[in-house]
Amino acid sequence: MSPWPAWSQLHEGAPRVPELTIAVLFGGRSSEREVSLVSGQAVLEALRTPAALRPRAVVGVEILPDGRWSLDGSACAPQALGSSLPPDSVFLIALHGGEGEGGSVQGFLETCGFAHTGESVAASALALDKVRSRDAVSAAGVRVAPGLAVAPSRWKSEPKAVLQQVQALGPGPWFAKPSLGGSSVSMCRAQTPQELEEHFESANPLLPGEAWLIEQAVEGIEATQGLFASSEPGTAPEALPLVEIQPVREGWFDFQEKYGADGARETCPPEHLDAGVQERVRVAAQQAWQALGLQSYARLDFIVTPQGEPVFLEANTLPGFTARSLLPLAAKEAGWSYRDLCLELCLRAQAAVRTT
């Protein structure tokens, strides 16, 4: 059982809920826009559900594909939000990838004086970049898969040399993914160098400054660890129950497995990882958290080898909030409803501003 108390028994912050004006921010211009739309609507529905303890107001703010922001259906320039919302509003960021997860939206909100969920600008940018975050976590002693970063310009100029380097990582299969992407968009699993070459030639162009991260596949079970900053300064982040992921078709956690109704089996607590292995994943996740400078909440993904060793995949500072998402699943096992989790994120964001 999780040591986490039920939300209703938690800290004295709960009486502040009626003081909250919550702006749920979703949409965006990244490749994960459609996922964010689903997350945002789910959060809005949960927070607007009639309950004894309700926020003062809950509004939806969508970043449109053309870059404008829409406040409950009325498009406006982002700079106009300051006159449309109370200054003590808290933004619950339900964006994924791109400007939402890379830190630029966080920086804008902080410049406007708004509290927001999620990480700081610097930690968001580092965690989103799969190449830089991989290097930071590896330097902290957490195992990563054999891999290399390949800039698009290098692939175009010397593809044979790149494929030789890939083969030097070890036998396939290999995974190739955009360093600034998420939700397995434009990601592939290649068994041969030829398959990898075909993917590079047909994939959508990468963002400016983005690279391909190519890693040798690691045999094992995928698991994800949710962490929250501890209420005790200077101590390790608190861990939610671990979630085990069992793909049902292709053998890896692709977009369909993540979001399809017939996708992967996600079990919490895990079915095939014993208590000792779960503890090793928790410790590795906390080490990665420290290496990335995280201070709010995150979901960190691993492959657990048959020997029980966790291998770091990536960190998600704005993990999904759809009906199929993994952080809400872990929170439910800890005794928190989806709505409780959303409120807790907002209370923590507001408290962080009050203490700075």
User: Where are the domains positioned within the chain?
Assistant: 7-118+336-354, 126-143+218-317, 147-216
Domain 147-216 CATH class label: alpha beta
Q: Is the dihedral of CA 41, 350, 226, 319 positive or negative?
A: positive
- What would the pLDDT profile of 62-73 be if each residue is shown by its tens digit? 999 988 999 988
Higher pLDDT, 24 or 77: 24
Alpha helices in the chain (DSSP H): 33-47, 81-84, 98-101, 104-112, 121-128, 130-139, 152-157, 159-168, 193-202, 255-259, 275-292, 326-333, 338-354
Higher pLDDT, 36 or 81: 36
Query: How many Cα atoms occupy the beta-carbon half-sphere of 215 within 13 Å?
Result: 21
Of the segments 1-10, 74-83, 326-335, which one has the largest average pLDDT value? 326-335
At 153, is the pLDDT very low, low, confident or very high (cuts 50, 70, 90)? confident
Q: Of 124 and 211, which is predicted with more confidence?
A: 124
Active-site residues: which are they?
A: 32, 183, 259, 299, 301, 314, 316, 320
CA 279 – CA 347 distance, rounded (Å): 29
Give the pLDDT mean for 314-319: 93
Domains 7-118+336-354 and 147-216 share a fold: no
Q: What average pLDDT does the chain have?
A: 86
pLDDT over 70 at 114, yes or no = yes
- The CATH number of 126-143+218-317 is which of 3.30.230.30, 3.30.470.20, 3.30.1330.10, 3.40.50.1220? 3.30.470.20
Residue 195 has pLDDT above 60, yes or no: yes
pLDDT at site 126 = 96
Could you tell me how many residues make up the chain? Answer: 356
Banded pLDDT at 222 (limits 50, 70, 90): very high
Residue 13 confidence (pLDDT): 53
Could you give the percent of the chain with pLDDT greater than 90? 56
Residue 197 has pLDDT above 60, yes or no: yes
Q: Which fold has domain 7-118+336-354?
A: Rossmann fold (3.40.50)
Q: Rounded to an integer, what is the distance from CA 14 to the centroid of its chain?
A: 26
pLDDT for 7: 47
Q: What is the pLDDT of residues 242-274, one digit of tens each?
A: 999 887 666 655 445 555 556 567 889 999 999
- Assess whether pLDDT exceeds 80 at residue 152: yes
- 86: pLDDT confidence band, cut at 50, 70 and 90? very high
